[in-house]
Amino acid sequence: MSEKNFSNYIKDTLPKECFIHKIENGLTSSGFPDLYLLYKSIPILIELKTPIKRNGKTKDNTLFKLEKSQIAWHLKYNKFKGVSFILHQVPLNSNLFLFDGYKSALYQATKLEKPNPIIQAPLKECLEVARKIVLEKMLLVS
């Protein structure tokens, strides 16, 4: 599935209580995540990724590539206490992988510690977990 088709899938399966704004390339700074979601009054920034394919075949379900501008954005956003996520599509499965955006960017910048998914689940469960993480971070910062 392409990232465009993945984005359409997300829009079609979002819970009714979720506002979505797809960020179009060129309208924001380079590296800004694909989706801005407002889920139960909590903002969630998500970068959509599909698996890396080699010779037409998926090598590893948890492998995806961030562009340099995306790496820089996630690292800087975290520096200012922001929370972001990578939502990764799993082929032949309705489950999605939700990753911490900062840990994913740090791994791709350094190759030191590959991040584990926060959760592998259907979309609504991923959003519930992301919402909880953002809310906890907001409470800690304030």
Residue 57, pLDDT score: 55
| pLDDT band at 59; cut points 50, 70, 90 | low
pLDDT at 25 exceeding the cut of 90:
no
Q: If you average pLDDT over every residue of the chain, what do you get?
A: 88
Q: Which of 45, 69, 63 is nearest to 117 (CA)?
A: 63
**All residues at 6 or more sequence positions from 134 whose CB lies less than 8 Å from its CB, including other chains:** 42, 43, 44, 83
The mean per-residue pLDDT over the stretch 31-60 comes to 83
pTM above 0.95, yes or no: no
pLDDT the model gives residue 52: 74
Which helix (H) or strand (E) element contains residue 99?
strand 96-100
Q: What is the pLDDT of residues 77-117, one digit of tens each?
A: 999 999 999 999 877 677 899 999 999 999 999 988 889 99
Query: Which of 7-11, 48-52, 68-72, 132-136 is predicted with the least confidence, judged by mean pLDDT?
Result: 48-52
Angle formed by the axes of helices 68-79 and 101-110, to 10°? 130
